[in-house]
Structure 1
Amino acid sequence: MASGDDDDPIIEEIDVYLAKSLAEKLYLLQYPVRPSTMTYDDVNILAAKIKTKQQRVELQMGMDTKSPNYCSSKGEQIALNVDGTGYEESNTYSVKLMDNQTFSSIQATTNTSRYAAGIFRKGELHLTPLTGILQMRPSFAYLDKADNKTREREADNEGGDSSQEEGEEEAKAVSVRYSRPESEQARQRRIQSYEFLQKKQAEEPWIHLQYHGVRDGRSEHERQYLFSQHVHASDNTELVKTPKEYLTMLMPPPAEEKVVKPVGPSNVLSMAQLRTLPLGEQIKTLMKNVKVIQFASLMGLLASGTDATAVLRCIQQVALLVQGNWVVKSDVLYPKNTCSPHSGVAAEVLCRGRDFVMWRFTLERSLMRKEVAAVIKLPPEDVKDFLEQVAVPRVNRGWEFLLPADTNFVKKHADVAQRQHMLWQGIQSKLEKVFHFSKDDFVPKNSPQPAPVHVSGEQRLKSAKDRAQEKQASLQKDLDAKRAGSSGSDIPIKQEPQSDGEPEPMDTSSSGIPNGSLNGYAGMECVNGGTLSNVPSPRLLDFVTETFGKNPVLTLNELKRLFSLHLATVPAGHIPFGPVSDHMLQDAVLLSRCKRIMVPFPALTTASADEQKVFGLWETGEDVDKHRRLLYEMFTKSYHVRRSAVQARLTEEFGDVSKADVDRLLKECCSSHAGMWYLKGTIQS
């Protein structure tokens, strides 16, 4: 060692023995849904059974119904749904309370030849080959039993009614046909079918076992079989293999299997065979294989000369439009009376979960798998399967939709896109009822969020003071300019008087605000000549800007209502605004590229003071701004206008303005009543 020839010396030699007493009986059970710190060692195991050929294990575990974390009312409801009100020996829960839970296994791997359980004792390592590695997960078969109970109850009710009304059924003629001999190809398809495999699995009987706890004497006796029973010096053999041969024994090279590919497999159609099918079947077969495709690519796969109108008619029967691309419908992939190959979940549940994923992709390009799983509450394997069909994973961006948005198709086939949009609205309403969510809960994440910047408290205080002073100067400048009036086509702006005392409070009380107070966050205030002047905070300005971006015209009354709704969504104890008065809210509006529109309400108007204060979005940098400003000017002369007058005035000022542009402008800013158009919120009964 002193010469330094060997820089990796042998520290210790350990004898390794192969134990074969439990070689074909040893299973490793994993519990992936529970952390390793929470074992089942102290749980009462009520029953255990196994199917050795399929390597399926079921454990029935008792539940601690006296635990403070156990909901007795829910347990009673589940037992009632599963077993009903009667007492039978076949009841799942004998005490009318969900007092046990069943865990069922799935194989973690089918090849366990490289896995063994090892135990170390007195400098010796004893290895026992594993027969199977099983993952134990909660079984929800009791829910299926509850559904069956409900169906049986409904069938009994319907059957009883029909029997009373109709009496005995009349005899009917029955036709008998003899089936043709089954071909070898049909037999192979039947053997590989899901129903056949399920039937074969059900034929193997369960073997009931007696469970012994980890501290039981029988368990300690069985653990002794993990040690090799022939550990003697005479049994030890020297390693006579060369290092290369020994490594080859440890890691044999992969065997090259010669697989003879069939000329025409029964489950695959060539393009020539595909084109012999009717057009609807061709499209259905293609969509089941590709899952998502652009319309131009689909036309390229079909025979030349195929009518695009006929293809559009067929594709809508088996697919839905997502971002201009066609995605196969869920009920085509998961037909009725089937279940998930991963978890065994019923097809109806899978369809609802996959429809939710597809609907989310109609709103945004990327999704996070955790967010999807939190809503649809399906096993991770099924959620991943949904996403892999239509999306690809991106680093730090979740799952991005597989194909770019096909805007050309949407423009060219606007009628189809509109029908698909209405169809998605119907699907959305069904999903909202099933998963209990609102569309507003999912805001598209189009813009990347800035990285957080860590600054000290003194820096934040100085930055806040500087921003407050800048906002105060800007506000004063804007208010002076508006008070002096503006030239050109600007709308007259009315400056609201501001009292020298306390600011007028807004009626923005909400149950989500502690004690009904808005003072949950230090508002931005600056000192000018010894007097305090309230300045709209940046967050208030952001709220006003975002609100007018969605609603170009708002009355003060409607703005206060939207502000109250926004405050109600803020978590308790975290109010991002300071004390907000009507004057401060109006100042925030005037600082957010908006102006007040002096609408001449009639003398006997029923509108309140807040409803008569109308504000409109003035400047966004878009071409529609000039149309909007001209519309505001018309409403300074009359509180209602006709559409023809708006069309004529826009044409006079800006030349030829399309009917669609006028309709969009009126829809954004106005409401219609009795053939007249009013600014939103100003309509009078």
Structure 2
Amino acid sequence: MEDEDDPVIEEIPVYLSKTLAENLYLLQYPVKASSATFDDGQVVNSCVKPINQQIKVDYALNTASKNYDSFKGEQFAIAADGKDKDRQQQKPTFRSGTMDKQSFLSSKPIEDVNRYMLCVLQDREIHGTALKGIISMRQVFSYFDKQDKRTKAEEKAEQDADADEEELKQVTVKFARTENEKVRKAREKSFNYIAKMESEEPWCETFWHTKNSTAAELERQKLYCGGSTRSGIDGALNVTSDEYLGMLISKEKTDRNIDSMLPSRVISMHKLKQMPLIDQIKNILKDAKVLTFQQIIDLLPDRSVATEKVLRTLPMAGVLIRGNWVVQSDIIYPEGSVSRTNGVPAEQMCKARDYILYRYTQCDTLERHQLALITQLPTEEIHEILNSVAKLNSDRSWSLLLPPNEDFSTNELEISDRQNAFWAAQADNFNDMEKCTKRSPKKSTRSDSKYDVKMSNG
């Protein structure tokens, strides 16, 4: 469309304010009704964890309302803090003796907020400030947790009082293993480690200013770009339309799918196009799990690449499973890495995944418990491997994500023969794994023998 068919109606200047850029957070309340608002709510307490970027806000409840159940409110307070005043905590959950507040705790739905900003329109000017973070506030019911902890503590105290003498307990000594840099980084990304760090950071009390207060108004004024700051904006945004478009497009990741076959949070086409062909194929296979050759051709950013060149490159990144391509195991589990759940080393994960892929060249479906028995991996790791190439059927068996593609095996006979030779060379190792499992005693036999011993001793 030519410019004269779509004329510019009006130009609005845009200014960037950096005064609050390091302290501006957007709070969302995703579980509240659209008609509800907390603008006029009374905040009785607020605190933050600056390092982990957590916020906790307590809103007062109107206990005098006709819709408030006073009896239930008192029961909740007793359940959380107990009946005996001598045993109450120094800082009770509800000071008034009834449930008089509701608490909201934050979580971060989006880690990367570099492309988000808060804008204000005033006097036909747009003033924008980059966000430091986006936070979702969800209601928490910590008083139920306090009730459970207090009940367990009381039961333990009663058991200790009834015990006449202290029983001897067996103590197991464990020595911590030395970990390399990669293992340490993987551990620090685990859920348990992050949760521990969040729980260890103390809460810092804060002052809450209502939206109509003088302090709140002074902070809102910082969203506007002052006259001294505007002088440098024109030069900073003096770029061409192509350069501006390039700044808007993420060069690392995109929130949209490359194709319906690819999951979200994959590498963008912009980034993919800058890679060598081998790296393009690795990333496509890694994100899409199982693909036909035609699907790989369609997903490549440069459609002009010769088919022969793609066929030569594919075996360096993937393996052929009954006419479909799957990424190689050492790309999923590079050397020095560990599995997500139990920290199984990459060498064991690659060996188990290669065995599972080999089995899919022989049969249509696999059973998870049999694979766990042969590979000697935890159930979570087997589930992780199967999810990367297969789908769960109604009979609890697992089959490949795509049906066999006999056309490719027929048309590309040379590549198919080479791939078959590769699996044939690995067959002896896989057969040894199965033989070792058959020679080992069954779990049911061991459990039966233990049961017989207990019965004879009884």
Q: Is the 8 A contact 2:372 2:382 kept in 1?
A: no
For residue 203 of structure 2, the aligned residue among 203, 206, 214 is 206
Q: Is the 8 A contact 1:279 1:311 kept in 2?
A: no
How far 1:286 moved relative to its partner?
Answer: 2.5
Distance 1:280 1:5 in 2: 65
Q: Is the 8 A contact 1:49 1:57 kept in 2?
A: yes
Q: Is the 8 A contact 2:15 2:230 kept in 1?
A: no
How far 1:106 moved relative to its partner?
Answer: 0.6
How far 1:15 moved relative to its partner?
Answer: 1.1
Report the equivalent of 1:587. none
2:178 partner letter: E
1:23 partner letter: A
2:64 partner letter: K
Distance 1:104 1:205 in 2: 14
Answering whether residue 224 of structure 2 is matched by residue 227 of structure 1, we say yes
Answering whether residue 388 of structure 2 is matched by residue 286 of structure 1, we say no
How far 1:35 moved relative to its partner?
Answer: 2.6
Alignment of 1:225-264 (within 5 A): 225-230=222-227, 237=234, 240-251=238-249, 253-254=251-252, 256=271, 261=331, 262-263=334-335
How far 1:190 moved relative to its partner?
Answer: 4.5
SS of the residue corresponding to residue 61 of structure 1 reads: strand
Report the equivalent of 2:95. 94
Stretch deviating more after TM superposition (199-208 or 270-279): 270-279
Report the equivalent of 1:110. 111
Deviant stretches of 4+, over 6 Å: 173-176, 257-260, 274-277, 305-308, 310-314
Encode CA deviations 1:596-619: one digit per residue, 9 max, x unaligned. xxxxxxxxxxxxxxxxxxxxxxxx
Q: Is the 8 A contact 1:50 1:208 kept in 2?
A: yes
Report the equivalent of 1:265. 337
Report the equivalent of 1:337. none
Q: Is the 8 A contact 1:20 1:128 kept in 2?
A: yes
Distance 2:111 2:398 in 1: 39
Cα distance change of structure 1 residues 210 and 306 upon mapping to structure 2, 3 Å threshold: same
How far 1:128 moved relative to its partner?
Answer: 0.7
Cα distance change of structure 1 residues 9 and 213 upon mapping to structure 2, 3 Å threshold: same
Stretch deviating more after TM superposition (247-256 or 20-29): 247-256
Report the equivalent of 1:29. 27
Report the equivalent of 2:213. 216
Encode CA deviations 1:370-394: one digit per residue, 9 max, x unaligned. xxxxxxxxxxxxxxxxxxxxxxxxx
Encode CA deviations 1:392-431: one digit per residue, 9 max, x unaligned. xxxxxxxxxxxxxxxxxxxxxxxxxxxxxxxxxxxxxxxx
How far 1:51 moved relative to its partner?
Answer: 1.6
2:50 partner letter: T
SS of the residue corresponding to residue 154 of structure 2 reads: helix
How far 1:26 moved relative to its partner?
Answer: 0.5
Normalised TM-score (structure 1) = 0.39
How far 1:296 moved relative to its partner?
Answer: 6.3
Report the equivalent of 2:58. 60
Distance 2:92 2:103 in 1: 14
Distance 1:196 1:252 in 2: 30
Q: Is the 8 A contact 1:17 1:127 kept in 2?
A: yes
Greater relative contact order structure (CA < 8 Å, 6+ sep): 2
Distance 2:349 2:246 in 1: 43
Distance 1:48 1:208 in 2: 6
Distance 2:151 2:143 in 1: 12
Answering whether residue 78 of structure 2 is matched by residue 80 of structure 1, we say yes
Cα distance change of structure 1 residues 93 and 283 upon mapping to structure 2, 3 Å threshold: closer
SS of the residue corresponding to residue 56 of structure 2 reads: strand
How far 1:234 moved relative to its partner?
Answer: 5.6
Report the equivalent of 1:341. none
1:266 partner letter: V
Larger radius of gyration, structure 1 or 2? Answer: 1
How far 1:142 moved relative to its partner?
Answer: 1.5
2:175 partner letter: S
Distance 1:178 1:307 in 2: 29
Alignment of 1:290-301 (within 5 A): 290=386, 292=392, 294=395
Answering whether residue 129 of structure 2 is matched by residue 128 of structure 1, we say yes
Report the equivalent of 1:652. none
SS of the residue corresponding to residue 237 of structure 1 reads: helix
Distance 1:110 1:180 in 2: 32
Cα distance change of structure 1 residues 7 and 25 upon mapping to structure 2, 3 Å threshold: same
Normalised TM-score (structure 2) = 0.57
How far 1:215 moved relative to its partner?
Answer: 1.1
How far 1:119 moved relative to its partner?
Answer: 0.8
2:54 partner letter: R
Cα distance change of structure 1 residues 78 and 11 upon mapping to structure 2, 3 Å threshold: same
Distance 1:217 1:186 in 2: 51
1:156 partner letter: A
Report the equivalent of 2:411. none
Encode CA deviations 1:531-576: one digit per residue, 9 max, x unaligned. xxxxxxxxxxxxxxxxxxxxxxxxxxxxxxxxxxxxxxxxxxxxxx
Encode CA deviations 1:34-54: one digit per residue, 9 max, x unaligned. 134311112110111112222
Cα distance change of structure 1 residues 15 and 266 upon mapping to structure 2, 3 Å threshold: same
Distance 1:264 1:96 in 2: 55
Distance 1:256 1:122 in 2: 39
Stretch deviating more after TM superposition (190-199 or 173-182): 173-182
Q: Is the 8 A contact 1:32 1:137 kept in 2?
A: yes
Cα distance change of structure 1 residues 295 and 77 upon mapping to structure 2, 3 Å threshold: closer
Distance 1:188 1:240 in 2: 41
Q: Is the 8 A contact 1:27 1:130 kept in 2?
A: yes
Percent identity of equivalent pairs: 30
SS of the residue corresponding to residue 5 of structure 2 reads: coil
Q: Is the 8 A contact 2:59 2:103 kept in 1?
A: yes
Encode CA deviations 1:330-369: one digit per residue, 9 max, x unaligned. xxxxxxxxxxxxxxxxxxxxxxxxxxxxxxxxxxxxxxxx
Encode CA deviations 1:564-598: one digit per residue, 9 max, x unaligned. xxxxxxxxxxxxxxxxxxxxxxxxxxxxxxxxxxx
SS of the residue corresponding to residue 227 of structure 2 reads: coil
How far 1:297 moved relative to its partner?
Answer: 5.2
1:217 partner letter: T
How far 1:295 moved relative to its partner?
Answer: 6.5
SS of the residue corresponding to residue 234 of structure 2 reads: coil
SS of the residue corresponding to residue 102 of structure 1 reads: strand
Q: Is the 8 A contact 2:183 2:337 kept in 1?
A: no
Q: Is the 8 A contact 2:18 2:130 kept in 1?
A: yes
* Corresponding pairs, count: 306
Encode CA deviations 1:461-493: one digit per residue, 9 max, x unaligned. xxxxxxxxxxxxxxxxxxxxxxxxxxxxxxxxx
SS of the residue corresponding to residue 197 of structure 1 reads: helix
Q: Is the 8 A contact 1:50 1:57 kept in 2?
A: yes
How far 1:130 moved relative to its partner?
Answer: 0.6
SS of the residue corresponding to residue 223 of structure 1 reads: helix
2:38 partner letter: Y
Cα distance change of structure 1 residues 306 and 71 upon mapping to structure 2, 3 Å threshold: farther
Cα distance change of structure 1 residues 16 and 231 upon mapping to structure 2, 3 Å threshold: farther
SS of the residue corresponding to residue 159 of structure 2 reads: helix
Distance 2:172 2:220 in 1: 62
Q: Which structure 2 residue ranges, 5 or more long, are not aligned?
A: 253-269, 280-329, 340-345, 356-370, 400-429, 448-458
Answering whether residue 108 of structure 2 is matched by residue 12 of structure 1, we say no
Cα distance change of structure 1 residues 252 and 43 upon mapping to structure 2, 3 Å threshold: closer
How far 1:143 moved relative to its partner?
Answer: 1.0
Cα distance change of structure 1 residues 30 and 190 upon mapping to structure 2, 3 Å threshold: closer
How far 1:140 moved relative to its partner?
Answer: 1.7
Cα distance change of structure 1 residues 289 and 151 upon mapping to structure 2, 3 Å threshold: farther
2:217 partner letter: E
Distance 1:154 1:48 in 2: 33
Distance 2:3 2:377 in 1: 71
How far 1:288 moved relative to its partner?
Answer: 6.1
